[in-house]
Structure 1
């Protein structure tokens, strides 16, 4: 036999949680066609990889990304593709770029700039807007080539604006005619390849202009009619970001659960763990348990990041403690070396520290949550000690926290970064996160790749899970098979992508060859490779010997190849039968 690729002597981790075994994997025409004990795969491959002592896993599936724009203007979906991810799902949070009439381009740019921290000029320069309808947007994705596969939800905010025009952007109630239009458009989207429908009710999801996003307070009837359109088109997944008021996840999340039960659709939603105070997450978990008891296990899932949801702040980034200060604005446009020199002058320091912030995006105010801000070193620590916080360091020095933050921002000649642990860090520990991730109704998510370019770099979480939770953490650890299962077959099942997430004959040949002992996550870096020279955070890792998509090697030892086998996934995929 002749194969396109054979991986020899690897420790095969099947993606289902089974015990690893040493063997060979053979690939032909983008599919796994043979497995065997070492030397048990007869024949040879055009390309062969010696995986002795290395893990061979399925490619990772990321359920929550925002590559809606990057997948148009770039042929690489990094950071995700640098961390073993071979399939991403986008259109999350109900934001995206289709459907959209020409006159509404600025509306959607305003939404994405505010919610996902993508500079407007990047979208204006990078998007050709060769589409209007959702099917036309999928055609544009289908025509492109990229390193990994993409799948798309129909996003609620563009849908609402397309159906209602300015009334939709202004969050006016939908008329019966509006609802009928949205239902028909939802059916069309599913029929042409959408995986489902995504929406958000999160209060801090605001446009760049400061207004709530179009979907923010949409009525239950609107969610129901769109969900019916999904059913009309053949079914799919509802993705939802609930608001979390002081009383917990009720009633916003329950409303979506009720709609999903009424029409028979599964739901996956964003779960965040508060750092302090009375926890609200038990409310959501109880609701999820009860819903699954009523309709069947696995139908309702919470998505949780395996480390703190973290803002990365610094003088070169979108946020830091002084970004809204008028006194800082006086020097903000200076080149970094000149700005740092100014900030080191005692009179400038005194003036800025005595100032007060103006108005800005809600996330920016978190840049003064001193108890939850930590220096981010060259080997980033995402479970830092309380004593390393800006507040604790300030107490140790006998200064105010704002002074400690000011001084730390000037470290490394102004290139220093600080991590704001906004959530998932209950009592300065990841114990709660780990316990929840061991549950069957909690899945990995919220890496947010392709968004928050100047504030968040959480798309590297697969490496963190394997290196920290499945190797370095002292307690609550995952075994390697458990961690791989959570990165592969579990999200594939939730998304309805039955053709991937396993190392088995007949499955799509999306694979990783990993030096588990050598996995190391690097500190985020700032690059200027977006359209119009836009800035973004990127993050790389050591330990990925090869990442393979549809049988083609897209990266070796952290270096991308020229292969671009990634394609648009149109609709859900059945489990292979052969």
Structure 2
């Protein structure tokens, strides 16, 4: 007798091949049989022709902090995700010395849009080293399966303290960092993650620690990761780490290099395709470069208390360094400062996160009732009506509402024709949900449902077997996750039951359920009928349904070469 049989399903096995019709039987959290008319079970689920696939593997999340207070990392399991990869960009919370905890949290508040109050109230600091962090997760239990990167910024801070954001490292410090990378790989890290992206700034606008690493440090740490013959090097790249440079690193380490973030820009429409071409040429030479992209348009909700979309700009540094609201408002009013911002927007058009597309920047929610009629309007229209420059208008308006106005910017990746070409490339890694981060700006945790609904069903960019493969079998192979990502006998029963005719991510909504009552954006699934993690049901058609005390996930610590 099986523990569970899902009967009469269209079975998409994660390999990209055409589906078969039949049943899937589960025993002890593993797939025990696949075939027609399987026998009796303790629990039977009638699929009635719905699609059954492996659970989604989300390869780019930032749940490192949240998972310590929320083992089910809401909302991902209710959106089809059964495995999450933490620690991307190198922004981990382990290793971390007790004296560096508050600094680490303050950096995360800035670079990843996390609430400092929520982090201070929520993080369980029951660890200091990276191995201890994995041990803690294993001891406390996890909802979905979890793989963790060793994080460059955390390792650099552990060795260098506050100097990590100030200077290059010494030979002795690099040697210490390399030992920490080796220890992390021995303990079960999925690889080593870093960032050189100019948009990645910590407290007060200082660069995140990994951005201070020189070539010697970077190569040494990737080599330390690769000594085990396993591991993935993940980098969110900036302008100083070119694709040819990363090909050198891949060739030297003989390990995959996953490169984020491949977004299409309407103001620089060829850049993403030049990047993708270089990556594919490197692959043709036998070097495993992988471009990490998104299937969601990049949009962000923000206020001018923390306008992330502008903070990669040099001209914005004074505002990021402001110590209190009064100083920030004074900077925003300064005509000379505004002129410097305007000049940089013009000079770097097409190379910034926000590229002066004022027609794609909207008022979402006003602070004053008398301004409600402006909600939903674009900034280009409002500025024109007011006879003002758009930058002057948006700053003046925000200042008039004490910086409480909520705006949304549609930034990148919003040209379906261009984005479709990127997604159709079979070697891109479709991920970049950033789940767990930027919680006040956006929620893309349902990216997999969007791929299957919008891109597969609605636009036909990928057929459904391929869409499922790109979310399951492909990332499992990329990260060396064995026994998952496919529906095979003996594999883990990580399962997702959905209706291909309706599957989608639902509208985002704001919730105030983080520690200390902090707010976040979240979303529900559409057309998702069931999610099982190692055979335990985590979600049904109404959403999350697991016992909150259940811990069906596994901390993944062994990966294929």
| 1:259 maps to 2:243 | no
CA contact (8 A) 1:492 1:501 kept: yes
Tell me the CA shift for residue 374 of structure 1: 4.9
Question: For residue 170 of structure 2, what is the aligned residue in structure 1?
Answer: 175
| 1:223 maps to 2:218 | yes
Name the SS of the counterpart of 1:447 in structure 2: coil
Tell me the CA shift for residue 31 of structure 1: 1.0
Tell me the CA shift for residue 419 of structure 1: 3.8
Of the three residues 189, 193, 205, the one matched with 2:200 is: 205
| 1:120 maps to 2:116 | yes
Q: Which runs of 5+ in 1 are unaligned?
A: 245-249, 333-352, 378-387
Distance 2:231 2:409 in 1: 35
- Please report the TM-score for the alignment, with normalisation by the length of structure 1: 0.82
Name the SS of the counterpart of 1:509 in structure 2: coil
Of the three residues 281, 285, 288, the one matched with 1:294 is: 285
Distance 1:316 1:215 in 2: 25
Tell me the CA shift for residue 393 of structure 1: 5.2
Distance 2:404 2:16 in 1: 41
Identify if the C-alpha distance between structure 1 residues 391 and 127 changes in structure 2 by more than 3 Å, giving closer, same or farther: closer
Distance 1:85 1:418 in 2: 29
Question: For residue 437 of structure 1, what is the aligned residue in structure 2?
Answer: 423
Distance 2:482 2:184 in 1: 20
Distance 2:406 2:484 in 1: 37
Of the three residues 220, 229, 232, the one matched with 2:227 is: 232
Distance 1:194 1:224 in 2: 18
Distance 1:417 1:86 in 2: 33
Identify if the C-alpha distance between structure 1 residues 251 and 538 changes in structure 2 by more than 3 Å, giving closer, same or farther: closer
CA contact (8 A) 2:164 2:212 kept: no
Task: Say which is worse superposed, 556-565 or 299-308, in terms of deviation.
Answer: 556-565
CA contact (8 A) 1:288 1:441 kept: no
Distance 1:523 1:417 in 2: 17
Distance 2:444 2:238 in 1: 21
Tell me the CA shift for residue 435 of structure 1: 0.8
CA contact (8 A) 1:223 1:259 kept: no
Tell me the CA shift for residue 395 of structure 1: 8.9
CA contact (8 A) 2:61 2:85 kept: yes
Distance 1:408 1:512 in 2: 46
Distance 1:65 1:201 in 2: 18
Identify if the C-alpha distance between structure 1 residues 393 and 469 changes in structure 2 by more than 3 Å, giving closer, same or farther: farther
Name the SS of the counterpart of 2:177 in structure 1: helix
| 1:512 maps to 2:496 | yes
Of the three residues 122, 129, 146, the one matched with 1:150 is: 146
- Please report the TM-score for the alignment, with normalisation by the length of structure 2: 0.84
Identify if the C-alpha distance between structure 1 residues 477 and 256 changes in structure 2 by more than 3 Å, giving closer, same or farther: closer
Task: Say which is worse superposed, 160-169 or 483-492, in terms of deviation.
Answer: 160-169
What is the aligned residue count? 522
Distance 1:143 1:64 in 2: 24
Distance 1:531 1:398 in 2: 41
CA contact (8 A) 1:499 1:573 kept: no
Name the SS of the counterpart of 1:160 in structure 2: helix
Of the three residues 428, 450, 453, the one matched with 2:436 is: 450
Tell me the CA shift for residue 92 of structure 1: 0.4
Of the three residues 522, 527, 533, the one matched with 1:538 is: 522
Of the three residues 283, 302, 309, the one matched with 2:298 is: 309
RMSD (Å) for aligned C-alpha atoms? 3.6
Of the three residues 541, 555, 558, the one matched with 1:568 is: 555
CA contact (8 A) 2:484 2:494 kept: yes
Question: For residue 26 of structure 1, what is the aligned residue in structure 2?
Answer: 25
Name the SS of the counterpart of 1:49 in structure 2: strand
Name the SS of the counterpart of 2:264 in structure 1: coil
Name the SS of the counterpart of 2:211 in structure 1: coil
